[in-house]
Amino acid sequence: MPRELPSTLDTSFCVRDALRAGVTPKRLRGRDLVTPFWGVRSLARAEEPGLPEEEIVNGALRYRPIMAENQFFSHVTAAVLWGFPLPAHVLWPAARQGLDVAVFTPARQPRRRGIRGHEVHPSSAHVVEHPRHGVALTSPASTWAALGATLRDPYDLVAAGDAAVRERLFRDDPPPLATLAQLSAAASAHRRVGGPALRAALPRIRSRSASPRETWCRLLLVDAGLPEPELNHEVRDAAGQVITCVDLAYPDARVAVEYEGEHHRTDPQQWARDLARHEALAVAGWFVVRVSAAHLAAGGALLAARVRAALGR
């Protein structure tokens, strides 16, 4: 059985620190340890594959022990660390290709296995320390601005902006990561690849969208010529008591648009809550248009037709 490591070492640690703590070179070659980066060891159980977001976060934490003082995470890696919603076709390649690690010019970009190096102009990014992970990375606003060159679908870029400025809609929600003014300033800082996409996205960002799917629903409806719906609207009864909160709403017509993810169908408790909510809305005179991922994938025409019919009923 491998000898226990000193308690001062984390699940990922620098070889230099381990040697100073009395760990022998032979112990560092133990089968329970792996080498994610040169000069780093990690417990093998911490290396089990998972979702791409988990892979990227875990990779960043494994790189942290050898991260140089002038380096910081950027681009997709920073976006994942902040919790921005990113499409799968961006996340999976990013998890395979390595972490985005940047330096400010004139320093040279880092070159190491498992790292995608970047040289960033000092005026184009603001660097902060992540409050939970304790790593240096671009600020939420700078991170969103860097995504203008990565997220090719304008709806994905708006969804990331919505996530950055999202206000506290529910009791357990964290505070917003950024303000719209900060996003605007970051988008206009220096000359950026993807600048036109950022400028087009800024006027479409809203602070009350609770998920990227809600953002897509809203944009599909607006781009189909329908009025912009209210987001996360509280429906009240005749006495003024809140019945429920609906994803998108046209209050004057009493029409709600609800996005239902897969868990709404597979979780019995969630399904029961959905039935009770829809019954309460029906009693209050509301009509609910239920939307799934398949509806969004089919494009906006069918969704818009359903909502238009509901508005005209």
Kindly report which listed range (128-132, 165-169, 282-286) carries the lowest average pLDDT score: 282-286
Q: What gap in Å lies between CA 256 and CA 234, rounded to an integer? A: 11
Of 176, 204, 232, the residue at which a domain comes to its end is 204
Task: Please indicate, yes or no, if residue 200 is contained in any of the structural domains.
Answer: yes
Mean pLDDT of 114-132: 95
Domain that holds residue 107: 52-204
Mean pLDDT of 228-256: 92
Burial class from Cβ neighbours inside 10 Å (0-12, 13-18, 19+) for residue 1 reads exposed
State whether 59 and 174 are in the same domain.
yes
State whether 231 and 181 are in the same domain.
no
State whether 135 and 77 are in the same domain.
yes
- Domain with residue 288: its CATH number is 3.40.960
State whether 29 and 88 are in the same domain.
no
Q: Give the single-character DSSP code of 9.
A: S
pLDDT band at 48 (very low <50, low <70, confident <90, very high): low
Cα 34 to Cα 30, 48, 111, distances in angstroms: 8, 11, 20
* pLDDT higher than 70, residue 36: yes
Q: Find the DSSP H helices in 136-283.
A: 140-146, 154-165, 180-188, 195-201, 212-223, 262-266, 268-283
Phi, psi dihedral angles at 137 (to 5 degrees):
-160, 165
More confident residue, 235 or 43: 235
Q: What gap in Å lies between CA 2 and CA 297, rounded to an integer? A: 51
State whether 131 and 226 are in the same domain.
no
More confident residue, 203 or 112: 203
Task: Please indicate, yes or no, if residue 5 is contained in any of the structural domains.
Answer: no
Q: What gap in Å lies between CA 186 and CA 1, rounded to an integer? A: 52
More confident residue, 33 or 139: 139
Q: What gap in Å lies between CA 241 and CA 55, rounded to an integer? A: 44
Percent of the chain with pLDDT over 90: 62
State whether 68 and 18 are in the same domain.
no
User: Residue 19: what pLDDT?
Assistant: 86
Q: How many domains is the chain built from? A: 3
State whether 59 and 182 are in the same domain.
yes
User: Residue 265: what pLDDT?
Assistant: 52
Crossing angle for the helix pair 212-223 and 154-165, to the nearest 10 degrees: 130
